[in-house]
Chain A
Amino acid sequence: MPNDQMILHRKTAPEFKTVDHVNLVKPVHQKLDNGCNVFCFNSGDQELVRIEWVFSNLRFNPAKPLLNAATVNMLTEGTTSLSSTEIADKIDFYGAFLQVDYGHDHSQVILYSLNKHLHHTLPVVLDILTDSIFPARELETFVRNQQQKLQVSLQKNDFMARRLYNKALYGDTIYGLCAECDDYNALNREDMQAHFKEMIQPSNCTLIMAGKIEKDTQELVTNTFDKAWTNAEKKADISQPELQSSTEHFYFTKKPDALQSAIRMGRRIINRTHPDFPALQVLNTVLGGYFGSRLMANIREDKGYTYGIGSGMTSLKQTGSIFIATEVGADVCKAAITEIEKEVNKLRAELIPEEELSLVRNFMLGSLLGSLENVFSHADKFKNLYFSGLDYDYYDRYIEIVKTVSAAELKSLAEQYLDSSQFYKVIVGKY
């Protein structure tokens, strides 16, 4: 006779546990004499490290829309002592990876390096941060190549839809940036050097390192970026002009040959600093934040209109937004929009059934746990908090809200924030 354990109940799900807490690795903080804040995450077995130098973007100048992005993207293109080739060669030779990354609020230089090669790779970064010269020849190449890439991107409906959407929500600001090929021609070295001097200085930098960082590694980093790196006379102006949302809410760009239409719709709402943010994330997950979401279940899994649809929330320094994005068969574009609006309105009209809500709670907590894959992810979680001016209490509160927010509270949040008649709507393709 098989014992009870061996009788398989294939129709019944095994017992499971819910996640009730998450252990976050917290950083050690140190402020260097030059004003640079350093945060250090020490964990992991591999002898490697990721170091990020994060800078606030400077005040956006609508007359020079690409200046900030180009200055950051060209940081690896040459210094007084190292050519673009030499920088690339040194970094590659030591098996490191050096990236520059331009974001809406911050830009960063990221170095991935094995610990044993740090004494070769760090000086290259120091040189870049203190002495970039934006050589004319490299700028010319940069401009030409970016223009070509932009031409290709402009043929992609989802890229077009994203641009138009941002422009409508944020206007002529750093968030609404909608560069044309011609804007690249306005870039010049003098502007870039001035921008570089003001932006890339220690008092405008947060240095975040994560990996296997023993005392000597930490000292190597802080020693390299302390005395040898000084501030400019002018303090970085990181204020931003006010966002200007457009009064027009509907945008349609016709592409006669389109097989699919890109749809993007949504609106500005709050960012992470607002107490409603975690609960809205629950609402967003229900709507379109996971594979089993209502939008996926209806528009992909029931109707087959699309390969994928989702909703998301962004949290920026000045604002936040919730959006829905998809590419659907050109012939079903109108029908898809009707269904999207139906799903949004349903959140305002009906309570989310408890079974669905408990699934979403568990999913979100599991997903939080799963997002902490390695020491880099712990540093990423910290960045979410630090740059929003929040404390680690935020995640305790987040977990609590995900576990306990009620269907009635979610409905009232939907009524407050998700009025689809106020949504911006962008369609590229056929309508």
Chain B
Amino acid sequence: MRIVSLLILMLVAAYPAVAEDAPSPAAKQFKALVDEYEQEGGARTFSKRFLALAEERSKDPAAADALLWVVKNVRGRSDTTKALELLKANHLGSKTLGPACADVAQSRSLAAEKLFRALLKKSPHTEVKAAACYYLAELLNGEAIVVDQLRAAPELAPRVLQYYGEDYGKHLAALDPEKLAKQREQVYETMLKSFPDVATQDATLGELSQTALFAIRHLSVGRVAPDIEGEDAFGNEFKLSDYRGKVVMLTFWGHW
């Protein structure tokens, strides 16, 4: 009986603490705005109101939620960039930025890379830093694909500008493939050194970064191909390097 009363007392005592965790006015405003948007739709119109809320209550954690709403729902617009810049200016310490990194990587704004680099340097949370590192690599990998496509088909340039927006599109068109490869290498080196044991769905960041570093250093256009040593179906040994001095067409095939 005494234990039960003690429990009740504890529950009563705990109650005020629960009340303190009640949503802040900014959080309530955020929730109301989300509800209103879900009724009406029109993300580009609503993004202005989410930005206004975040600026008005810049110290409140709900401001980060409002900015991340913009990043998630509006891509490649000036509002997207503004939201990313405000996150960088006011919310680098926020834990909610970790799970939001995937959206940041998809935001099609020049400010995304800057936010990732700032988080990598300044976030107090290891899991946020690791997420920023992983998605910075993903962002740069996506840029490398666009650069390759533009190199192979320069006529795609107007479509790149249209899809990625004027600022980011121009940045992508002007990227130097070698410098970009160097940047990707540096990000994966950081990942390997700082977050090797962080697990993702497929592998640890250590394993992922080692695979990526090998591809950047040895399997990219412009790099000396790794040698191949082995035997053919008849058991005869030969090497890829036997063919130095010749142009080589190397085909991975099967008769399936």
A binds B: no
Residues of A within 8 A of B (CB): none
